[in-house]
Amino acid sequence: MTAATDATWPELPLAQWQDTYATLHMWTQIVGKTRLALAPMQNHWWQIALYVTPRGLTTSAMPCGRRSLAVDFDFLDHVLWLRSSDGATRALPLVARPVADFYAEYLATLRALHVEVTLRPGPVEVPVAIPFAEDREHASYDPDAAQRCWRILLQADRVLKRFRGRFLGKSSPVHFFWGSFDLASTRFSGRRAPRHGGGAPNCPDYVMVEAYSHECSSCGFWPGGGPIPEPVFYAYTYPEPDGYAGRAVRPEGAYYHREMREFVLPYEVVRRATAPDDLLLDFVQSTYDAAADCGRWDRAALDRPRSEWP
């Protein structure tokens, strides 16, 4: 196999950028909580997600009284842009500094833009939730690593959008969840699911109850952490049907992670492939097939005919 070009699918060993990852995770949570505060509720919390752009990540337009506000991470120039519909623009440099300092300047910038918003003051879905205003532990920023992470998100976003086009039923946008720091795309069977038991660290149970109110099959990209010490593509289904974990999925190198209760495909397998797009599509398609077949989804109604796949 010949690896894809580094500029397209770059290396991102977790151990080499963990400190930057942890800091950037907190920064995206701060910006994401702005969306949580301003955007009207949607099913499964879709209104809080960020979206991949040609330069980074964006909140997209958020209602702010009679105005709109957008906040954009730019990982090419390493700037956080805040832009309002009345023409006002502010910029915060993305540089190594404590989360507490970033948070203070971000709040001051919102006030300068006359944005009245109350943000929830601490992170979610992390084992140790230091309030943003007190967090001087996370203070790293390697611009090259942050940019490489975004470049992977850019490629994953592109491929997952092709995959989304193969489905006719209810499906989520391809979007970035700042709580878990992953890019996700989710399909739904159309049936309600058993009440989720919650249990995400430092996250109220009602968040997961809403997120998993209906049967779903989800896939995406995650830089790794905890029991998975490397970046991976993942796929899971809720509720997990009988036989799902034992299904054979493609490609070679994909496996079911018992602790995480999801299929994973190491990012390195995709990065080193001669045809990364095809390999990734094979993974997300075969894991969806496993979820839909084991869960007895109405595939005749939900799936786009193979002859019409994008």
Phi, psi values for residue 192, rounded to 5°: -70, 150
φ/ψ region of 214 (left if φ > 0, alpha if ψ in -120 to 50, else beta) reads beta
The CA distance from 104 to 245, in Å, is 45
| Mean pLDDT, the chain, integer | 97
The structural domain count of the chain equals 2
What is the side-by-side strand order in the sheet with 232-238? Answer: 175-177, 182-192, 214-222, 232-238, 262-266, 255-257
Residue 4 lies in a domain: no
The verdict on 107 and 223 lying in the same domain is no
* pTM score over 0.95: yes
pLDDT above 90 as % of the chain: 98
> Average pLDDT of 278-306?
98
153 and 267 in a single domain? The answer is yes
Residue 1 banded pLDDT, cuts 50, 70, 90: very low
Largest Cα–Cα separation, the chain: 55
Taking residues 28-54, report their average pLDDT.
98
- Residue pair 189/169 in contact (Cβ under 8 Å)? The answer is yes
Q: In whole angstroms, what is the distance from residue 228 CA to residue 158 CA?
A: 24
Parallel, antiparallel, or unpaired: how do β-strands 175-177 and 182-192 relate?
Answer: antiparallel
Of 112, 134, 156, which residue sits at a domain end?
Answer: 134
pLDDT classification of 2: cutoffs 50, 70, 90: very low
The stretch 114-134 carries a mean pLDDT of: 97
For residue 178, the enclosing domain spans 143-308
Distance CA 308, CA 310 (A): 6
Which DSSP helix (H) or strand (E) runs through 152? helix 143-164
Residue 3 has pLDDT above 70, yes or no: no
Tell me: pLDDT of 38 over 50. yes
Cβ neighbours of residue 219 closer than 8 Å, sequence gap 6 or more: 160, 163, 184, 185, 186, 233, 234, 235, 236, 283, 284, 287, 288
pLDDT band (50, 70, 90) for residue 59: very high
Listed residue (192, 198, 185, 190) closest to 285, CA to CA: 185
Residue 1: inside a domain, yes or no? no
Same domain, 182 and 107: no
pLDDT in tens, 65-92: 999 999 999 999 999 999 999 999 999 9
Contact 42/188 with Cβ under 8 angstroms?
A: no
Entry field: residues in the chain:
310
Instruction: Tell me if 178 is assigned to some domain.
Output: yes
* 147-204 tens-digit pLDDT: 999 999 999 999 999 999 999 999 999 999 999 999 999 999 999 999 999 999 999 9
* 204 and 177 within one domain: yes
At residue 7, the pLDDT reads 80
| C-alpha distances in Å from residue 190, one per residue of 160, 174, 245, 255 | 21, 19, 22, 27
151 shares a domain with 125: no
Helix axis angle for 276-294 and 143-164, nearest 10°, is 50
Is 148 in the same domain as 269? yes
* pLDDT tier at 146, thresholds 50, 70, 90: very high
Do 94 and 180 lie in a common domain?
no
Q: What is the pLDDT of residues 227-251, one digit of tens each?
A: 999 999 999 999 999 999 999 999 9
Same domain, residue pair 78 and 151:
no
101 shares a domain with 244: no
Rounded to an integer, what distance in angstroms lies between the CA atom of residue 185 and that of residue 159? Answer: 11
Q: Give the pLDDT band (50/70/90) at residue 4.
A: low
Indicate the pLDDT class of residue 263, thresholds 50, 70 and 90. very high
Q: At what angle do helices 14-38 and 99-112 cross, to 10 degrees?
A: 30
Of the candidates 117, 114, 195, 151, the one whose C-alpha atom is nearest the C-alpha of residue 9 is: 151
Residues 150, 277: one domain? Answer: yes
For residue 5, the model assigns a pLDDT of 54
- Coil, strand or helix at 234: strand
Same domain, residue pair 80 and 174:
no
